[in-house]
Chain A
Amino acid sequence: MKLEEINIKLPAKPEYMSVARLTTAAIANRMGFTIDDIEDLKVAVSEACSFLIRQFSDITNLTIDYQIDTNADIHVTIASSDADVVNREESRESELSLFIMESVADKVTKVVDNGVIRGFSILKTGGNSLEHE
């Protein structure tokens, strides 16, 4: 069951990737994840954002939705609300992104529209605390 939700919207520009990583690390830290798991989630979210920026020309924004459930698991959905984006051919870096994401997250679901990857849903389990200070 969903317990808490955080949504951010960023310009789909490379210079904002550090913001996505910092936000992700802060949320994972708040949830009591271990340092290794915080790093894993940060890496997965950053790779998902980079994948979408690389893959689409004319992309203007990225939305990152963090949903924390009652088991202190986190579901992160990364997507773009842009309707008209042009899909580029998948690069070597994009293949690496997919591989890294799938290795560091517990589950990665591709959001596919007409055969094109439009976003990702990432699950990381193992948080242990949602108590408010």
Chain B
Amino acid sequence: MDIRQEWNEQNNTWNIFLTGEIDIYNAPELKTSLLDLIKQKKGNIQIDCADLKYIDSTGLGVLISALRQVKDYDGSITIKHLKPYIYKIFNITGLDKVFTIEVQE
């Protein structure tokens, strides 16, 4: 897994780019990174998943934790370019209704 981030001052948004696989091994690293960004600037979060190959329940748990923190200051988390087979996991867990998601064509 690789995490890259950029702060967009105009949109008050963290643009985050996730690459590879997120599972029980590296989800704690994702959690630390997201919480650290939220601590730096209380902005919205946009996660680009164009290069994300896999996410498991642990990774979903991290996203839910981050969403709770972001909602505390009325921010939002948007997930972009999610592959259809990964969107399926969001769909069956009902998280497609919790996050704003754009699926990759």
Contact = CB atoms under 8 A, between A and B. Distances in A.
B93 to A, nearest CB: 6
B85 A39 contact: yes
Nearest to A53: B24
A56 to B, nearest CB: 13
A96 B60 contact: yes
Interface stretch (A65-73, A99-107, A110-118, A125-133): A99-107
Label chain B's interface by main secondary structure: helix
Contacts of A47: 56-57
Interface size class, chain A: 20 to 34
B99 to A, nearest CB: 14
B25 A43 contact: no
A15 interface: yes
Interface in A48-83: 50, 53-54
